């Protein structure tokens, strides 16, 4: 792993995946982002992320989702990271998170509807009457070693520069490189699907609907996005060819 990505307090030992394109793509994406004036470090301190989130709510960053909130979720360095984006002046301008779920004996539908996807201890942390109903067709096929990628935010001054495509790809590739994942998934609000923003994220499956009631954000409906391993490998190879 290139040292240029790791902050001083982060030391991660990646799994050696069968796909050599992963590390090469990470390096190519770093160069592309650097050309845009963006530096990236890989972080594991989610308390720091929470602090950044709370300080930037007035810039359109919604509250940190429970899946990445260290107060209610297991986001230890062995199973979660976030990408910290800074501009040429060193100012924080964005973030993207990823988390590993070991669902070799279960799947997204079961884990979401039980709220174990959301909280380390649903009984202790869930809101009164909080519930999820998952009818997305492929939800039961989201299983194995799963990388959940989410909570992306970009400062208004860097939007429209291609980060919405590059950073999720970097997050997925890091997840694959570290955890040898079987599938990557994410969630998106319908408005982002309708505006075409989600198309930039690079997921092949975009399916309704995750109905999340009485949660930290009230009632919300979401799309389930997913990309199986074989498609991710093809995507990495194609992206590397384009960036090289």
- Residue 9 above 80 pLDDT? no
Mean pLDDT of 34-56: 95
For all residues of the chain together, what is the average pLDDT? 91
Domain residues for the domain of 90 are 3-243
Band (19; pLDDT cuts 50, 70, 90): low
| CATH number, residue 54 | 3.40.630.30
Listed as own residue / partner, the contacts of 72-78 with beta carbons closer than 8 Å and 24 or more positions apart are 72/119, 72/120, 72/121, 72/125, 73/118, 73/119, 73/120, 74/120, 75/44, 75/46, 75/99, 76/44, 77/10, 77/12, 77/44
- Residue 235 above 50 pLDDT? yes
Which secondary-structure segment (H or E) carries 185?
A: strand 183-188
Q: What is the pLDDT of residues 106-135, one digit of tens each?
A: 999 999 999 999 999 999 999 999 999 999
Q: How many domains does the chain have?
A: 1
| pLDDT on residue 25 | 94
């Amino acid at each position: 792993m290139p040292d240029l990505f790791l902050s001083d307090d982060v030391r991660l030992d990646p799994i050696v995946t069968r796909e050599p394109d992963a590390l090469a793509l990470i390096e190519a994406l770093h160069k592309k982002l650097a050309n845009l004036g963006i530096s990236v470090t890989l972080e594991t301190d989610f308390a720091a992320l929470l602090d950044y989130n709370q300080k930037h709510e007035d810039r359109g960053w919604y509250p940190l989702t429970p899946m990445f909130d260290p107060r209610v979720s297991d986001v230890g360095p062995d199973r979660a990271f976030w990408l910290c984006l800074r501009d040429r002046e060193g100012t924080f301008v964005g973030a993207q998170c990823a988390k590993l779920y070991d669902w070799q004996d279960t799947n997204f539908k079961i884990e979401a509807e039980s709220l174990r996807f959301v909280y380390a201890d649903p009984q202790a942390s869930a809101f009164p009457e909080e519930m999820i109903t998952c009818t997305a067709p492929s939800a039961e096929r989201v299983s194995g070693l799963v990388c959940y990628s989410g909570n992306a935010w970009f400062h208004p001054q860097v939007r429209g520069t291609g980060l919405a495509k590059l950073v999720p790809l970097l997050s997925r590739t890091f997840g694959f490189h570290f955890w040898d994942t079987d599938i990557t998934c994410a969630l998106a609000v319908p408005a982002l699907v309708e505006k075409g923003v989600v198309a930039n994220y690079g997921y092949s499956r975009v399916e309704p609907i995750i109905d999340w009631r009485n949660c930290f954000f009230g009632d919300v409906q979401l799309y389930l996005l997913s990309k199986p391993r074989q498609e991710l490998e093809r995507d990495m190879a194609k992206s590397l060819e384009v960036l090289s």
